[in-house]
Amino acid sequence: MPTVTAPYVETQQVVTGFMYQLHIAEDENGPGITRLDIGPYYFPGAPPQIKYPEAVTNEMCPPSWQAVRWFTDEAGASWLRWQGGRLLSEDGEQIFQLTSNYPSSSSGASLQVWRGNSKSSERYSITAPDYSQTPPQINPRHDVIGKGTTFVKGNGCAPAIALGLITIAAIAMRHFV
């Protein structure tokens, strides 16, 4: 039976958290990849009131696929899921990309690849977000203050405007002296 090739993940820290880039391809004469699940993760709450630790950001997936989303199965396990059209061998290597606030870990979660109309999946060990850690203290994607605005945060814009006017006045005085 044809196998899936190139199921590996590249991880890098970016301004908005951690970027996970999954590379995968269907082998020649394969039935086609139809779903990708990363997990299982276990969170508090019973379906449908599961408390997910974050809303991951879908950065890239093939055009006929849905953006990554959380899914909880009937057993209570949660998965990050991409689902969509059939990826065939002639499509070549495909890239699925998401951003998470959580750093990676090589243990725990795995990649489940669903192919064709199969009722079973193939499991691969990958690097994935580690949701067993405590949540990050600062969430850079939702930090509305930003690091560049701490100068004017406490007193509004008045000090910045005053400094600008003083600088302009000093430059103007140089021309008149």
Q: pLDDT (tens digit, 9 = 90+) per residue, 144-159?
A: 445 554 444 556 677 7
* Residue 161: band (very low, low, confident or very high) from pLDDT cuts 50, 70, 90: confident
Q: Please, what is the average pLDDT of the chain?
A: 84
Could you give the percent of the chain with pLDDT greater than 90?
Answer: 47
User: Bigger pLDDT: 48 or 73?
Assistant: 73
Is it the case that residue 50 has pLDDT exceeding 90? no
Per-residue burial over 146-177, b = 16 or more CB atoms within 10 Å of its CB, e = otherwise:
eeeeeeeeeeeeeeeeeeeeeeeeeeeeeeee
| Residue of higher predicted confidence among 16 and 57 | 57
Question: 35-39, 46-50, 137-141: which has the minimum mean pLDDT?
Answer: 137-141
Q: What pLDDT does residue 130 have?
A: 92
Ranges assigned E (strand) in 94-142 = 94-100, 104-105, 110-115, 121-125, 128-129
- Is the per-residue pLDDT at 83 higher than 70? yes
Tell me the whole-structure pTM to 2 decimals: 0.74
H-run or E-run covering 176: helix 158-176
For 122-140, what is the mean pLDDT? 80
Top-confidence residue, 173 or 19:
19
Sorted by where each begins, the domain ranges of the chain are 20-175
170: confidence class by pLDDT, cuts 50, 70, 90:
confident
Looking at residue 110, what is its pLDDT?
A: 92
- pLDDT recorded at residue 16: 84
- Residue 90 in contact with residue 54, Cβ under 8 Å? no
SS3 143: coil
Reported as a single tens digit per residue, the pLDDT across 10-27 is 999 998 889 999 999 998
Which tens digit of pLDDT belongs to each residue from 27-36? 888 899 999 9
